[in-house]
Amino acid sequence: MPLNTDSIPVDRFKSIRTRAERVITSLDTPLSPDEDSTKYLAEHLRDCLKHPTTGLMAYNDAFISRGQNYPGYYRRNLEAVKKFPDIKNLMNALNDKLKELYPKTRKARDFIIETNRIRFDVTEEAKHNFRRLFFKTTGF
- List, for residues 57-83, the tens digit of each pLDDT value: 888 888 887 777 888 888 899 999 999
Q: Please state, in angstroms and as integers, the Cα–Cα distance from residue 112 to each residue in 54, 57, 91, 137, following that order.
A: 12, 10, 21, 24
Number of domains, the chain: 1
In a domain, 60, yes or no: yes
In a domain, 4, yes or no: no
Q: Can you tell me the distance from the alpha carbon of 127 to that of 35, in angstroms, rounded to the nearest whole number?
A: 48
Q: Can you tell me the distance from the alpha carbon of 40 to that of 34, in angstroms, rounded to the nearest whole number?
A: 10
In a domain, 136, yes or no: no
* Each residue's pLDDT tens digit, 114-137: 887 777 766 666 666 777 777 778
In a domain, 42, yes or no: yes
* Each residue's pLDDT tens digit, 23-44: 998 888 898 888 888 999 999 9
In a domain, 129, yes or no: no
Domain of residue 87: give its range: 14-119
In a domain, 83, yes or no: yes
Buried b (16+ CB within 10 A) or exposed e, 21-59: bbbbebbbeeeebeeebbebbbbbbebbeeebebbbbbb
In a domain, 81, yes or no: yes
In a domain, 30, yes or no: yes
Q: Residue 8 pLDDT > 90, yes or no?
A: no
Whether 53 contacts 94, CB under 8 Å: no
